[in-house]
Amino acid sequence: MRGSVGVALGVVVGALIAGAGGYWLENGNIPRGGAAPASSAAAEGAVKERKPLYYRNPMGLPDTSPVPRKDPMGMDYIPVYAGEEGGPDDGQATAGRVRISTEKVQKLGVRTEAARRRALDRIVRAVGRVEPDERRLYAITPKFEGYVERLRVNVTGQPVGKGQPLFDVYSPELVSAQREYAIAAQGIGALQDADEQARAGMRQLAESSLLRLRNWDISAEQIRSLSRSGTVKRMLTFRSPVAGIVTEKKALQGMRFMPGEMLYQVADLSSVWVIADIFEQDIGLIASGAVARVRINAYPDRLFEGKVSYVYPTLNAATRTVPVRIELANPELLLKPAMFAQVDLPIETRDTTLTVPISAVIDSGTRRVVLVDLGEGRFEPREVRLGARGDSQAEILEGVKEGEQVVVAANFLIDAESNLKAALGAFEAPRARPRMDFPAAGSASHRAEGIVEEIDAGSDALGVSHGPVETLGWPAMTMEFKAANAALLQGLKPGDRIDFEFVERGQGEWVITSVKVLGGTKPEEGAAAPSDARDAHAGH
């Protein structure tokens, strides 16, 4: 009795479950734990089982394979799926963009910064040299012939004060001029009772003698002493006209000198010049009155400040620089002529301009490129036109918009990790390739059989006489190939018959990516003999 009741209850429960299941199916509501997980799992399996479009070389070579395979180093080729052509894998470039995995971006330490507008203050740096102020140089030059009787200052570099005696001279012409003046002065007194004409003639003679003495730079004190005493002095003392340093001394004890000969030069070094050599491209930023900061190697802890007083109108054709004069006060006489100086000229601008850090610019010499971060490991190389440059920023005239994130750190590592040249190729219009006797190679892998003619282990190169290559339309010929790595050449020797695959890595550069020794030295039927192959290659 109980058994039959249990069976009846089971039938009822089963019918209820079946009815409820039909109701839920009709209404499209699938409860938890129903058939939905099975269908979901099937969908996920379908996603996971998507087929790759092709497999690419893991070493970055442009060859691909329709089936899984390994490269000569034993590394698996990387699958490329639909929608990911050249995108998800490290170092792939497509449509002018580069994509690197997020993990690799973190490992490289990539750092970005937004391009923004700012005042581009900069500093023009130059080297210079300390020179005396030309307006403070004094030459002591007698205007008559004579002899150096005595030297009061007898060493170069000796400091002298204004009016300090430098040397004493004897000159017959000077003695004669003094005697004429003394006689004329006495004659004026003796002709007090003479007529006016005689007195006027004597006064004229005295004035003529006095003028000659003054023209010879005889001091007023010495002339007054001569007028009072009437005594002719045999020697005349020359004094320094300014306080400074004796920079040149040509006078020697007892030497004879001629009129106009420089015997001493005295320089006032309380103020000096710094002549800075400014490069041609920066000279337009420099104007008179600009503040200059000068550092001298001898005093690394001192900073000297001066002003630009003159921009020279000439350019040195050898160095492409323009000299600029800077005046510096030198009260302590620390700055000495011929010292080297490092000059900083701050250039302040009030106008703002779009700038990026200088570290963001990759300069190849022919063009300037920045990497713009598009997010999710995608980077777009942009060719930019630069304007002025500051200490850390560069003005962008064209190529980047305000607010765009540019790579400022590890951009060269991105270049190294990626096929950036392929992305940059999108900037250039297609160039006509040189005419060849056979079609040019693409990025696919090609296969051929042939005989090894010679091997150059030093350059990883080998000459092969191969049969026709259908994928390229090549006839049988002998040509040189490069090995992708030295391991491919191990065990090979001239005369080996090989089955090999190769790709075009560069313009006219053919690289063997795999090789298999077939054994024997006779090529297949239809392949040219080595001599015939060489002749066929003559037009290649």
Co-location of 460 and 422 in the same domain: no
Q: Is residue 205 part of a domain?
A: yes
User: What pLDDT, on the 0 to 100 scale, is given for residue 59?
Assistant: 60
Comparing C-alpha atoms, which of 391, 340, 509 is closest to residue 123? 391
Q: Is residue 35 part of a domain?
A: yes
Co-location of 312 and 406 in the same domain: no
DSSP code per residue over 248-294: EE---TT-EE-TT---EEEE-TTEEEEEEEEEGGGGGG--TT-EEEE
User: What pLDDT, on the 0 to 100 scale, is given for residue 255?
Assistant: 95
Q: Residue 241 in 3-state DSSP?
A: coil
Co-location of 393 and 452 in the same domain: no
Q: Residue 169 in 3-state DSSP?
A: strand
473: CATH:
2.40.50.320
Co-location of 304 and 332 in the same domain: yes
User: What pLDDT, on the 0 to 100 scale, is given for residue 54?
Assistant: 73
Token pair, residue 141, equals 């030059």
Co-location of 236 and 335 in the same domain: no
The 10 Å Cβ neighbour count of residue 347 is 16
Write the CA distances from 519 to 110, 229, 494, 496, 497, integer angstroms.
Answer: 51, 127, 12, 6, 6
Write the CA distances from 268 to 245, 327, 329, 364, integer angstroms.
Answer: 6, 14, 11, 51
Give the residue from 308, 343, 378 where a domain finishes: 343
366: CATH:
2.40.420.20
Burial of 63 (0-12, 13-18, 19+ CB in 10 A): buried
Q: Residue 43 in 3-state DSSP?
A: helix
Domain, as residue range, for 370: 111-120+351-427
CA 466 – CA 526 distance, rounded (Å):
10
Co-location of 400 and 482 in the same domain: no
Rounded (5°) CA angle 64-414-104: 80
Co-location of 146 and 203 in the same domain: yes
Give the residue from 301, 317, 343 where a domain finishes: 343
Co-location of 361 and 397 in the same domain: yes
Q: Is residue 79 part of a domain?
A: no
318 contact partners, CB below 8 Å, separation of at least 6 = none
Determine if the pTM surpasses 0.85: no
Q: Residue 246 in 3-state DSSP?
A: strand
Co-location of 404 and 470 in the same domain: no
Token pair, residue 144, equals 């008559």
- CA neighbours closer than 13 Å in the CB half-sphere of residue 195: 2
C-alpha of 411 from chain center: 16
Comparing C-alpha atoms, which of 156, 172, 331, 122 is closest to residue 246? 156
pLDDT 10s digit of each residue in the chain, 540 long? Answer: 444 434 333 433 344 434 444 433 344 444 444 444 444 444 444 445 667 777 777 665 556 777 888 877 777 877 876 655 544 444 454 445 777 777 777 777 888 999 999 888 788 999 999 999 999 999 999 988 999 999 999 999 999 999 999 999 998 888 888 888 777 777 766 676 667 777 777 777 777 877 888 888 777 777 777 766 667 788 888 999 999 999 999 999 999 999 999 999 999 999 999 999 999 988 988 989 999 999 999 999 999 999 999 999 999 999 999 999 999 999 999 999 999 999 999 887 767 889 999 888 988 778 888 989 888 788 888 889 988 877 788 889 999 999 999 998 876 666 655 555 555 554 544 444 333 333 333 446 788 999 999 998 888 888 999 999 888 878 888 888 988 888 888 888 899 999 998 887 766 678 888 888 986 554 444 444 444 444 444 434
In which residue are the tokens 């003479």 written?
194
325: CATH:
2.40.30.170
For CA atoms 134, 137, 143, 145, give the dihedral sign. negative
Beta bridge pairs of residue 193: none
Contact 476, 468 (CB under 8 A): yes
Co-location of 399 and 300 in the same domain: no
Give 164's DSSP letter.
Answer: -
Q: Is residue 133 part of a domain?
A: no
CA 221 – CA 425 distance, rounded (Å):
88
Token pair, residue 27, equals 């209404």
Burial of 113 (0-12, 13-18, 19+ CB in 10 A): middle
Token pair, residue 307, equals 């002003």
- CA neighbours closer than 13 Å in the CB half-sphere of residue 343: 31
Number of separate domains in the chain: 5
In total, the chain counts a number of residues equal to: 540
**Judging by DSSP bridges, how do beta strands 291-296 and 378-389 pair with one another?**
unpaired
- Three state DSSP letters for 324-378: EEEEEECCCCCCCCCCEEEEEEEECCCCEEEEEEHHHCEECCCCEEEEEEEECCE
Write the CA distances from 478 to 239, 321, 515, integer angstroms.
Answer: 94, 57, 17
> Which amino acid is residue 245, in one-letter code?
I
Token pair, residue 276, equals 């800075």
Query: Euclidean distance between the first and final Cα of the chain, in Å?
Result: 100
Give the residue from 327, 343, 359 where a domain finishes: 343
Q: Is residue 187 part of a domain?
A: yes
Q: Is residue 87 part of a domain?
A: no
CA 245 – CA 260 distance, rounded (Å):
21
Q: Residue 165 in 3-state DSSP?
A: strand
Co-location of 220 and 328 in the same domain: no
Q: Is residue 266 part of a domain?
A: no
Co-location of 276 and 256 in the same domain: no
Q: Is residue 479 part of a domain?
A: yes
